[in-house]
């Protein structure tokens, strides 16, 4: 009887642990592209520090996940009265890096696959950086909703533009502007990144890659 009770307690503990690890990251609200915000003549420009600005990403599949980063190549915020009026940022798709694998242990192969630099017939599986070397994100608005700052902007990847909205902390000082998002997800198929998507292809079984990519945006800009 004691052994049965111990097993039941262990099972309950494992179930609680699994439930606590449930992914609660929300999808970014995604709509058609809208008009970008414009800066006033009085706005002050802050230029992105590309060495301190990154986009962290996580891609998942039934057998696990991979993590990595993407860099910005340029960008700026326009600020007036301590508030961000507008902002546009260029994403360097050639900078896609995998951080969970070691060099010589699949890292280079996965990076090449994501960039479309492997076999010619796999170039469009993901981002095809030869054809689409950059993406962009352009702010369309910053609002307050339920006590959170929500950043809205047009995200362009592979010549497809969608407006996304995600929660972030935006800080403005005389010296710098920082934008740090919460983790959020986007559906990659909305930007024609369709490789191994079970919503696009049938009969994949467990050989699929999740449609949702988890992102965390970190941008720092200075005068």
User: What are the pLDDT digits (tens) for 150-184?
Assistant: 999 999 999 999 999 999 999 999 999 999 999 99
The alpha carbon of residue 138 and the mean position of all alpha carbons in its chain are separated, in whole angstroms, by: 14
pTM, two decimal places: 0.89
Assign 14 to helix, strand or coil.
helix
Domains of the chain and CATH, by start: 26-222 (2.40.128.110)
Pairing of the two strands 184-187 and 176-181: unpaired
**pLDDT at position 22, please?**
54
d(CA 126, CA 194): 7
pLDDT at 6: 43
Q: Are 162 and 129 in contact (CB under 8 A)?
A: no
Q: Mean per-residue pLDDT for 105-124?
A: 96
The residues, any chain, with a CB within 8 Å of residue 14's CB and separated by 6 or more, are none
Q: In this model, does residue 23 exceed pLDDT 80? A: no
């Amino acid at each position: 009887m004691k052994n049965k009770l111990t097993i039941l307690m262990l099972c309950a503990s494992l179930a609680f642990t699994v439930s606590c690890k449930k992914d609660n990251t929300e999808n970014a609200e995604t709509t058609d592209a809208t008009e970008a915000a414009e800066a006033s003549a009085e706005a002050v420009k802050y230029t992105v520090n590309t060495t301190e600005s990154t986009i962290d990403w996580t891609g998942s599949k039934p057998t696990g996940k991979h993590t990595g980063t993407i860099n910005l190549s340029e960008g700026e915020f326009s600020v007036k009265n301590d508030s961000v009026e507008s902002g546009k940022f260029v994403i360097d798709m050639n900078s896609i890096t995998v951080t969970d694998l070691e060099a010589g242990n699949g890292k280079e192969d996965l990076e090449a696959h994501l960039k479309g630099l492997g076999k010619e017939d796999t170039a469009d599986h993901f981002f095809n950086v030869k054809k689409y070397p950059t993406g962009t994100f352009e702010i369309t608005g910053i609002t307050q909703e339920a006590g959170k700052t929500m950043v809205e902007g047009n995200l362009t990847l592979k010549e497809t533009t969608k407006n996304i909205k995600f929660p972030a902390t935006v800080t403005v000082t005389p010296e710098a502007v920082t934008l740090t998002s919460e983790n959020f997800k986007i559906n990659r198929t909305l930007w024609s990144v369709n490789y191994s998507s079970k919503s696009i292809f049938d009969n994949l079984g467990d050989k699929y890659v999740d449609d949702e990519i988890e992102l965390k945006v970190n941008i720092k800009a200075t005068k």
